[in-house]
């Protein structure tokens, strides 16, 4: 590698502007690896890099970290969570069937319905939180079974082990969106999934300042497909974003523990507060799949739902009175966010259909941040009291 190229002494301004001052690119003793903002690499370099669409030192660093955190042999990073889902589903072919949990992330549903269907892929939805539906998977002969747990926004918990067993007996690949749980709290591959996919935009990066995605697997065959998809579909992240996610990953464990503690504490207090209709968090004993959550997760994560029994308008007024919770989509950042599914993510669904699936007008989704829990509680109290 020409780390310290000798520049001809008569090189012109234009040439010197590009070639002088390119030292210190490696073996500097820097504690944190630098950001390799380069599109291409000199042929024959020892790392085997050629072009950033198919590999970059910042991807390799992040992939090594995330594979390790997911107990996986391999990991491939992508530009966003949706890119990582695209990499998986575009490894299928026309005529294949996906059996999917019905309560999935909106962008995943949109990709399935409005893009994949046009390419001749069939998608069947089941409520996979109901164990009697596991037995229906085999008859559909899916190439892929798509899981998410906890689900968005209802925080249903799926029995990953049981579903993986049912899917494997039909010869299917099981993919699991691990975004809501995070790599710290849940290891899908250890529970039987073949692919663990995350939007690293959320808890992995944790600072709401970039997008990213990853697919982790123990299968050499699927790893080849992921590397191929990264390169052939152009789904690669920017080296800077990969570097940011690497930085976020270093503090993930301490952040996650605080997210879990804060969300569970707020959920407990809300549950015993008069007038609150329902509260949901996987580690509250009242959660319908609480035992299962405790079996397959190390913590309940930072997402919490509450139905204050208010009308559509009063729920929005409550949300606007909150000062520490910003009304926004997304989740998993250090700062607390609040969302109103009925007017935001699920606004296009007719009210009756929405309510039938549990998305009531009074339902509020909290992404609980890592601020002090007493300040968060006081904020909810003042907003409920009318500001």
Ligand X SMILES: *Cc1c(COP(=O)(O)O)cnc(C)c1O
Catalytic residue chosen out of the listed positions 50, 53, 161, 314: 53
Output 260 or 310, the one with its CB closest to ligand X.
260
Report the residue closest to ligand X, judged by CB: 81
For residue 382, what are its two tokens? Answer: 């003042």
Smallest separation (angstroms) from ligand X to the CB of 259: 14
Residue 177 touches ligand X, criterion: CB under 6 A: yes
Among 91, 199, 218, 289, binds ligand X (CB under 6 A): 199
- Cα(46)–Cα(30) distance, integer angstroms: 20
Residue 66 touches ligand X, criterion: CB under 6 A: no
Output 83 or 91, the one with its CB closest to ligand X.
83
Residue 203 touches ligand X, criterion: CB under 6 A: no
Catalytic residue chosen out of the listed positions 96, 159, 177, 307: 177
Residue 201 touches ligand X, criterion: CB under 6 A: yes
Among 49, 59, 105, 203, binds ligand X (CB under 6 A): 105
Among 202, 259, 280, 365, binds ligand X (CB under 6 A): 202
Catalytic residue chosen out of the listed positions 156, 202, 225, 255: 202
For residue 343, what are its two tokens? Answer: 């007017």
Site for ligand X in 126-165 (CB under 6 A): 148, 152
Among 75, 82, 297, 363, binds ligand X (CB under 6 A): 82
Smallest separation (angstroms) from ligand X to the CB of 247: 17
Residues 6+ apart with CB under 8 A from 211: 79, 80, 81, 199, 201, 237, 241
Output 101 or 177, the one with its CB closest to ligand X.
177
- Cα(309)–Cα(168) distance, integer angstroms: 42
Strands 122-126 and 144-148: unpaired
- Cα(222)–Cα(226) distance, integer angstroms: 6
Residue 52 touches ligand X, criterion: CB under 6 A: no
Residue 282 touches ligand X, criterion: CB under 6 A: no
Residue 98 touches ligand X, criterion: CB under 6 A: no
- Per CB under 6 A, the segment of 124-132, 195-203, 231-239, 302-310 that binds ligand X is 195-203
- Cα(200)–Cα(341) distance, integer angstroms: 22
177 is catalytic: yes
- Per CB under 6 A, the segment of 23-31, 43-51, 173-181, 235-243 that binds ligand X is 173-181
- Per CB under 6 A, the segment of 37-45, 76-84, 114-122, 235-243 that binds ligand X is 76-84
Smallest separation (angstroms) from ligand X to the CB of 201: 4
For the chain, give the secondary structure using H, E and C. CCCCCCCCCCCCHHHHHHHCCCCCCCCCCCCCCCCCCCCECCCCCCCCCCEHHHCCHHHHHHHHHHHHHCCCCEEEEECCHHHHHHHHHCCCCCCCEEEEECCCCHHHHHHHHHHHHHHCCEEEEECCCCHHHHHHCHHHCCCEEEEECCCCCCCCCCCHHHHHHHHHHCCCEEEEECCCCHHHHCCCCCCCCCEEEEECCCCCCCCCCCCCEEEEECCHHHHHHHHHHHHHCCCCCCHHHHHHHHHHHHCHHHHHHHHHHHHHHHHHHHHCCCCCCEEECCCCCCCCCHHHHHHHCCCCCCEEEEECCCCHHHHHHHHHHCCCCEECCCCCCCCCEEECCCCCCCCCCCHHHHHHCCCCCCEEEEECCCCCHHHHHHHHHHHHCCC
23 is catalytic: no
- Per CB under 6 A, the segment of 14-22, 38-46, 101-109, 135-143 that binds ligand X is 101-109
Smallest separation (angstroms) from ligand X to the CB of 133: 21
Residue 334 touches ligand X, criterion: CB under 6 A: no
53 is catalytic: yes
Among 213, 248, 300, 362, binds ligand X (CB under 6 A): 213
51 is catalytic: no
Residue 80 touches ligand X, criterion: CB under 6 A: yes
Residue 81 touches ligand X, criterion: CB under 6 A: yes
Which positions touch ligand X (CB under 6 A)? 80-82, 105, 107-108, 148, 152, 177, 179-180, 199, 201-202, 211, 213
Would you name the residues annotated as active-site residues? 53, 105, 177, 202
């Amino acid at each position: 590698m020409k780390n310290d190229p000798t520049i001809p002494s008569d090189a012109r301004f234009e040439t010197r502007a590009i070639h002088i001052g390119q030292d210190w690119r490696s073996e500097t003793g820097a504690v944190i690896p630098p950001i390799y903002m380069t599109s291409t690499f000199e042929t024959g370099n020892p790392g085997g890099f050629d072009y950033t669409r198919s590999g970059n030192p910042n991807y390799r660093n992040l992939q090594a970290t995330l594979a390790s955190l997911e107990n996986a042999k391999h990991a491939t990073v992508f530009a966003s969570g949706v890119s990582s889902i695209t990499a998986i589903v575009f490894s299928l072919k026309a005529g294949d069937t996906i059996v999917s949990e019905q309560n999935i992330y909106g962008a995943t549903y949109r990709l399935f319905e409005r893009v994949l269907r046009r390419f001749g892929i069939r998608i069947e939805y089941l409520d996979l939180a109901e164990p009697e539906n596991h037995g229906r998977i085999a008859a559909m002969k899916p190439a892929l079974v798509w899981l998410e747990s906890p689900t968005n926004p209802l925080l249903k918990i799926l029995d990953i082990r049981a579903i993986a067993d049912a899917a494997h007996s039909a010869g299917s690949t099981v993919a699991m969106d691990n975004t809501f749980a995070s790599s710290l709290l849940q290891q899908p591959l250890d529970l039987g999934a073949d692919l663990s996919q995350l939007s690293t935009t959320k808890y992995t990066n944790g600072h709401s300042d970039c997008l990213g995605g990853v697919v982790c697997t123990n299968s050499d065959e699927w790893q080849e497909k992921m590397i191929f998809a990264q390169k052939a579909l152009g789904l690669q992240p920017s080296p800077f974003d990969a570097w940011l996610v690497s930085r976020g990953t270093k503090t993930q464990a301490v952040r996650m523990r605080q997210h879990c503690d804060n969300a569970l504490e707020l959920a407990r207090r809300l549950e015993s507060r008069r007038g609150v209709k329902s509260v949901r968090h996987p580690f509250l004993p009242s959660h319908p799949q609480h035992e299962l959550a405790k079996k397959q997760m190390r913590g309940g994560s930072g997402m919490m739902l509450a139905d204050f029994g208010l009308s559509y308008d009063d729920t929005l007024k409550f949300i606007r009175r909150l000062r520490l919770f910003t009304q926004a989509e997304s989740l998993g950042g250090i700062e607390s966010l609040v969302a109103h599914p009925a007017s935001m993510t699920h606004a296009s669904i007719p009210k009756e259909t929405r309510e039938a699936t549990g998305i009531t007008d009074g339902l509020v989704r909290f992404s609980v941040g890592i601020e002090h829990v007493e300040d968060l509680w006081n904020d909810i109290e003042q907003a409920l009291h009318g500001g």
